[in-house]
């Protein structure tokens, strides 16, 4: 090395460290422990070939293991009615003990995948509810019992039958009391069977139980007419409807039927403008209240007072006896005048289960002469036969040790009875406890034997929801598990070896005694699914007036109103993730219940959304609900299940312990919050022309009223580009905002049809809900009693779609039939289209929602995946999806027409959301067809496009919201 000169000390040190770097020669690898041959060995040609063979086969083996082997076993003999790829529809009936609906079940390759409305029913007329739509998923619920159970262990039917029969025989011999506790049963055949059973076993007492009872109506009618019945209601015949805490569009009695009736009386057109008017007095913001023309918030304790005042006003002018009433908190003069103007064409209903109130309601309806027109006592409704008095007596008896056997069918009182702990202690004292529950629910867990019933889609049954209107339930799939229909079990225990379908047929033989050709009649009934018998309205005894009274309202802090949520009801479907994730039409909350308080109360007590309060020892989150009357709070039942299954357990809290109108104190728990997953956080329309509205009076003067902007926008929408020309087909949709009640049936129908994944509370909270169809809900005016607007929004299929021209890979594009379509395979997930969609209807697969344990819902279960529609792709993580305007249905309709060698006709194709809409708010069709209903809607002066000023040229249009009020 050259001699180093250095100038500074730093320089010197620098060079020093450099030179200090000493290189030591080290062997490249250690050869210790290897013998010489190994070090020197070269691999021979044989070795090479061996290695090659091994590595190639190893690679092949490893890589082939990546793909899971899926076996598809073809049918050895193809069933006659089954064509792979072609759907079969079976008419059937949905009845779960509370709700009734006539349905069509769509099956593909012998498995039910979708529920549709049965338009041959004169009651539901092709409508369904969200619960009905979601019920198909219950068939594929992992929580279902796979076979009979004895004390929590699996057993077989022979053993179970033998043992139960033995025990029942002993009890019968000893004359000990056995109770058959069922839900309301509306099946004439099952009723006959149970009656036969109780006749054969006189020690058996039959008790029907409803978690939310309506016995007061029956009792009131017993007093007034001598008949303990619920009358059938005709909302369509009423010009003025006054509801008191009766959510007849959401939960009350027959919401699907009532929605159909209600909306049919409010379909308006320019030619024949007629519209009923609805008043709603309620103690919470209900779906019905949100749609009412006039809504009044009252406390539960004020209901009787308001009603009696209303009665007095009517009685004064009809010359009936007037009763003393405290002063009404609401001026009812206008309501009374309106009712009096429409005598015989009005309807007053109350959902409160109090005899006193129902007597006043009956008196008002009687004074108005509504019996025989809008109410019919002689065509009673068979729903809600449960009587809380009988249930109270049963619990008392059980606790007193007077009941030695209990058979529990389709009810879950250990969860939903108002005094569940009493029921449970009583049940513990019963010797023989048999449940027919199809899941290990709270009550079944306490039973010795659980003999699981079929799902309703696996069962034979019939139903008579209203006297003379029948509906048939028939199996659409062979039983998936080793379950047995409750009725078959009954027959077996009675020593009858036949099955229930024969029993039912025999029963129908007697019912159709005058039929000349029973075989064909019976087949027709099964085919149609419904049968409307000619029923004579029998003579009604005179109205026997009862004395009416109303106590002065309580002066308490807060009166509590327990209610059923539109999706969850009484919690029977708690384990149904579709319903859990369905945004509540009013609050848009998913997965939870909460205490809804009035904005005024929230301000006074410094409470806000997601704060936690304690009421009667239960901690619950708070939701500030506009329209919640001051002095009240409401809470949804149906939550807080402990034994529902993985989706339902631990959601919310159980509110069945609360009584209607119960006074409570709300204690804030400082510093604690609980997240609530809502799909909408901003509730004001910001004065934008989103939902365009008018009043009926203005509409009559000018059908364009409220929609003036449409003309302006049409005129000012200028473009340099040519309009797209369509050849023959241009699909379009129209949504009548006046009809739509926001019930969310379409949301679930769309989810079932289009394999929309469930993403769980946390992701909903992150605002990532996957629903292709959402219902926006806006409030306007006063926060104490706002006007509410529901607006279904899905892809608008714009002809000038902002999403289409920004996709870099052309994954979203326009079809020749006007559809904005998504090619999932092409999508790389830049999400530009989502940003550029002004309607924000595009959904991104943020995660893999299929076969992912983090999203342990139906798409993560082999069983749950059977509900998937084989016509619709299941989307991968990272792609954007949205409403396809049920393109698979369009294709199917076109193919059917082609096979039949005819032109496509109006009504051949129905969208999933449209088909089962209980208010017929949605119309779909070919915009180029001059005679179509959709074309008619296009030319309707009420028609407008959402955000039409953006010139997106949507194929979906809206009709203005018309309210029949004065403001």
**Which residues bind to another protein, rule: CB under 8 A?**
14, 17-18, 680-688, 690, 763, 766-769, 774, 776-778, 791, 793, 802, 805-810, 826-832, 834-836, 838-840, 842-848, 876-880, 946-947, 950, 952
Distance CA 897, CA 619 (A): 58
Q: Tell me the residue ranges of DSSP E strands in 197-339.
A: 204-208, 230-233, 240-244, 277-282, 294-297
Question: Within 10 Å of residue 618's Cβ, how many Cβ atoms?
Answer: 15
Distance CA 325, CA 728 (A): 66
Tell the smallest beta-carbon distance from residue 18 to another protein (Å).
7
Tell the smallest beta-carbon distance from residue 786 to another protein (Å).
14
- Copy the structure tokens of residue 194: 């149970």
Question: Residue 147 or 878: which CB sits closer to another protein?
Answer: 878
Question: Residue 65 or 681: which CB sits closer to another protein?
Answer: 681
Spatial contact of 463 and 511, defined as CB atoms under 8 Å apart = no
* Sign of the dihedral defined by the CA atoms of residues 384, 388, 394, 398, in that order: positive
Question: Residue 767 or 781: which CB sits closer to another protein?
Answer: 767
Tell the smallest beta-carbon distance from residue 606 to another protein (Å).
22
Question: Residue 330 or 950: which CB sits closer to another protein?
Answer: 950
Strand, coil or helix: what is 953? coil
In whole angstroms, how far apart are CA 495 and each of 165, 253, 410, 460, 488? 10, 37, 23, 19, 11
Question: Residue 207 or 806: which CB sits closer to another protein?
Answer: 806
- Copy the structure tokens of residue 838: 């002004």
SS3 string of 306-359? HHHHHHHHHHHHHCCCCCCCCCCCCCCHHHHHHHHHCCCCEEEEECCCCHHHHH
Tell the smallest beta-carbon distance from residue 834 to another protein (Å).
4
H-only helix segments in 226-321: 255-264, 287-291, 303-318
- Copy the structure tokens of residue 909: 């194709």
Tell the smallest beta-carbon distance from residue 680 to another protein (Å).
5
836, exposed or middle or buried, with CB in 10 Å at 0-12, 13-18, 19+?
Answer: middle
Question: Residue 425 or 835: which CB sits closer to another protein?
Answer: 835
Question: Within 10 Å of residue 910's Cβ, how many Cβ atoms?
Answer: 20
Backbone dihedral region of 520: left (phi > 0), alpha (psi from -120 to 50 degrees) or beta?
Answer: alpha
Spatial contact of 632 and 554, defined as CB atoms under 8 Å apart = no
Q: How many residues does the chain have?
A: 967
In whole angstroms, how far apart are CA 214 and each of 180, 241, 864? 20, 20, 35
Spatial contact of 142 and 136, defined as CB atoms under 8 Å apart = no
Question: Residue 387 or 751: which CB sits closer to another protein?
Answer: 751
Tell the smallest beta-carbon distance from residue 897 to another protein (Å).
28
Question: Residue 549 or 767: which CB sits closer to another protein?
Answer: 767
Tell the smallest beta-carbon distance from residue 845 to another protein (Å).
7
Question: Within 10 Å of residue 161's Cβ, how many Cβ atoms?
Answer: 18
Adjacency order of strands within the sheet including 100-108: 88-95, 100-108, 111-117
Tell the smallest beta-carbon distance from residue 882 to another protein (Å).
10
Question: Residue 684 or 966: which CB sits closer to another protein?
Answer: 684
Strand, coil or helix: what is 504? helix
Tell the smallest beta-carbon distance from residue 877 to another protein (Å).
5
- Copy the structure tokens of residue 43: 């691999």
Q: Beta 618-624 vs 774-780: how paired, if at all?
A: unpaired
Tell the smallest beta-carbon distance from residue 739 to another protein (Å).
20
Tell the smallest beta-carbon distance from residue 733 to another protein (Å).
18
Tell the smallest beta-carbon distance from residue 308 to another protein (Å).
40
Question: Residue 876 or 896: which CB sits closer to another protein?
Answer: 876
Tell the smallest beta-carbon distance from residue 282 to another protein (Å).
24
Question: Residue 122 or 683: which CB sits closer to another protein?
Answer: 683
Strand, coil or helix: what is 324? coil
- Copy the structure tokens of residue 706: 């409220």
Question: Residue 617 or 808: which CB sits closer to another protein?
Answer: 808
Tell the smallest beta-carbon distance from residue 21 to another protein (Å).
10
Question: Residue 811 or 934: which CB sits closer to another protein?
Answer: 811
- Copy the structure tokens of residue 775: 């219902």
Question: Residue 16 or 549: which CB sits closer to another protein?
Answer: 16
Question: Residue 943 or 946: which CB sits closer to another protein?
Answer: 946
Spatial contact of 598 and 755, defined as CB atoms under 8 Å apart = no
Query: Which residues, in sequence order, are CB contacts of 1 under 8 Å at separation 6+?
Result: 19
283, exposed or middle or buried, with CB in 10 Å at 0-12, 13-18, 19+?
Answer: buried
Question: Residue 285 or 308: which CB sits closer to another protein?
Answer: 285
Q: At what angle do helices 130-139 and 745-753 cross, to 10 degrees?
A: 30
Question: Residue 670 or 720: which CB sits closer to another protein?
Answer: 720
Spatial contact of 821 and 813, defined as CB atoms under 8 Å apart = yes
SS3 string of 513-539? CCCCCHHHHHHHHHHHCEEECCCCCCC
Tell the smallest beta-carbon distance from residue 829 to another protein (Å).
2
Return the DSSP state at 144: B
Spatial contact of 742 and 775, defined as CB atoms under 8 Å apart = yes
Nearest one of 488, 875, 952 to 884, comparing CA atoms: 875
Question: Residue 349 or 769: which CB sits closer to another protein?
Answer: 769
Distance CA 292, CA 900 (A): 46
Nearest one of 382, 459, 506, 410 to 139, comparing CA atoms: 459
Tell the smallest beta-carbon distance from residue 418 to another protein (Å).
37
Tell the smallest beta-carbon distance from residue 781 to another protein (Å).
16
Tell the smallest beta-carbon distance from residue 679 to another protein (Å).
9
Cross-strand pairs, 88 = 107
Phi/psi for 344 (5° steps) reads 80, -10
């Amino acid at each position: 090395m050259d001699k180093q000169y250095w100038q500074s000390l730093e320089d010197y040190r620098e060079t020093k460290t450099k030179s200090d770097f000493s290189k030591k020669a080290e062997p490249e690898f250690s050869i210790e422990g290897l013998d010489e041959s190994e070090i020197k060995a070269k691999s021979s040609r044989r070795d090479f070939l061996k290695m090659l063979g091994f590595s190639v086969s190893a690679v092949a083996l490893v890589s082939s293991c990546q793909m899971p082997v899926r076996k598809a076993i073809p049918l050895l003999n193809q069933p006659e009615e089954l064509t792979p790829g072609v759907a079969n529809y079976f008419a059937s009936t949905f009845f779960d003990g509370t709700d009734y609906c006539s349905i069509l079940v769509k099956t593909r390759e012998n498995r039910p995948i979708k529920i549709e409305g049965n338009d041959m029913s004169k009651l539901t007329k092709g409508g369904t509810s969200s619960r009905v739509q979601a019920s198909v998923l219950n068939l594929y619920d992992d929580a279902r019992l796979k076979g009979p159970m004895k004390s929590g262990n699996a057993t077989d039917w022979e053993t179970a039958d033998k043992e139960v029969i033995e025990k029942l025989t002993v009890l019968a011999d000893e004359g000990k009391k056995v109770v058959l506790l069922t839900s309301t049963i509306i099946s004439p055949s099952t009723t006959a069977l149970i009656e036969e059973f109780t006749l054969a076993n006189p020690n058996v007492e039959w008790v029907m139980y409803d978690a939310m009872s309506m016995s007061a109506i029956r009792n009131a009618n017993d007093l007034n007419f001598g008949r303990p019945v619920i009358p059938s209601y005709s909302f369509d015949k009423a010009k003025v409807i006054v509801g008191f805490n009766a959510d007849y569009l959401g939960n009350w009695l027959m919401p699907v039927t009532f929605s159909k009736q209600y909306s049919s009386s409010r379909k308006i057109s320019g030619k024949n403008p007629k519209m009923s008017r609805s008043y709603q007095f309620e103690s919470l913001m209900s779906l019905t209240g949100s749609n009412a023309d006039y809504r009044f918030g009252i406390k539960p304790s004020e209901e009787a007072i308001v009603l009696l005042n209303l009665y007095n006003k009517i009685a004064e002018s009809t010359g009936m006896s007037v009763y003393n009433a405290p002063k009404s908190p609401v001026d009812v003069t206008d309501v009374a005048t309106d009712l009096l103007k429409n005598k015989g064409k009005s309807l007053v209903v109350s959902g409160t289960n109090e005899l006193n109130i129902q007597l006043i309601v009956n008196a008002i309806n009687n004074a108005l002469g509504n019996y025989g027109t809008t109410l019919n006592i002689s065509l009673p409704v068979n729903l809600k036969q449960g009587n809380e008095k009988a249930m109270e007596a049963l619990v008392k008896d059980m606790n007193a040790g007077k009941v030695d056997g209990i058979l529990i069918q389709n009810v879950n009182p250990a969860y939903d009875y108002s005094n569940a702990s009493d029921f449970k202690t009583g049940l513990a004292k019963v010797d023989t406890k048999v449940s027919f529950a199809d899941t290990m629910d709270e009550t079944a867990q306490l039973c010795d034997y659980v003999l699981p019933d079929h799902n309703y889609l696996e069962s034979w049954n019939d139903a008579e929801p209203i006297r003379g209107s029948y509906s048939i339930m028939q199996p659409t799939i062979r039983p998936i598990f080793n379950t047995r229909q409750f009725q078959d079990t009954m027959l077996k225990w009675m020593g009858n070896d036949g099955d229930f379908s024969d029993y039912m047929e025999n029963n129908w033989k007697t019912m159709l005694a005058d039929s000349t050709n029973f075989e064909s009649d019976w087949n027709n009934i099964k085919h149609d699914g419904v049968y409307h018998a000619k029923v004579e309205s029998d003579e009604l005894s005179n109205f026997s007036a009862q004395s009416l009274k109303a106590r002065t309202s309580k002066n308490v802090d807060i009166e509590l109103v327990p209610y059923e949520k539109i999706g969850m009801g009484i919690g029977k479907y708690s384990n149904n993730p579709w319903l859990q994730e369905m945004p509540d039409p009013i609050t848009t909350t998913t997965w939870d219940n909460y205490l809804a308080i009035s904005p005024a109360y929230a301000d006074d007590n410094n409470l806000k959304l997601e704060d936690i309060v304690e009421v009667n020892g239960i901690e619950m989150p708070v939701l500030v609900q506009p329209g919640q009357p001051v002095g009240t709070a409401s809470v949804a039942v149906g939550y807080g299940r402990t034994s529902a299954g993985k989706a339902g357990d631990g959601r919310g809290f159980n509110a069945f312990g609360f009584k209607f109108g119960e006074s409570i104190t709300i204690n804030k728990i400082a510093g604690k919050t609980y997240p609530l997953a809502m799909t909408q956080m901003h509730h004001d329309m910001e004065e934008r022309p989103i939902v365009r509205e008018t009043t009926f009076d203005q509409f009559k003067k000018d059908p364009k009223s409220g929609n003036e902007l449409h003309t302006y926008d049409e005129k000012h929408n200028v473009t340099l580009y040519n309009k797209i020309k369509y050849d023959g087909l241009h699909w379009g949709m129209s949504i009548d905002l006046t009809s739509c009640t926001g019930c969310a049936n379409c949301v679930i129908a769309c989810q079932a049809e289009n394999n929309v994944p469930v993403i769980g509370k946390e992701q909903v909270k992150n605002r990532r809900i996957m629903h292709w169809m959402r219902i926006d809900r806006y409030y306007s005016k006063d926060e104490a009693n706002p006007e509410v607007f529901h607006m279904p929004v899905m892809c608008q299929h714009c002809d000038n779609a902002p999403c289409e021209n920004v996709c870099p890979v052309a994954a979203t594009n326009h079809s020749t039939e006007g559809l904005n379509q998504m090619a999932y395979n092409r999508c790389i997930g830049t999400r530009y289209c989502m940003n550029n969609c002004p309607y924000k209807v595009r959904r991104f697969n943020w995660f893999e929602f299929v076969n992912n344990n983090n999203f342990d819902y139906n798409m993560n279960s082999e069983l749950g995946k059977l509900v998937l529609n084989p016509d619709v792709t299941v989307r991968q993580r990272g792609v954007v999806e949205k409403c396809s305007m049920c393109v698979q249905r369009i294709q199917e309709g076109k193919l059917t027409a082609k096979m039949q060698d005819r032109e496509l006709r109006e009504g051949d194709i129905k969208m999933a959301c449209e088909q089962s809409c209980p208010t017929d708010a949605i119309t779909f069709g070919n915009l180029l067809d001059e005679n179509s209903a959709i074309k008619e809607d296009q030319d309707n002066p009420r028609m407008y496009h959402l955000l039409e000023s953006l010139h997106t040229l949507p194929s979906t249009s809206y009709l203005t919201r018309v309210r029949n009020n004065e403001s």
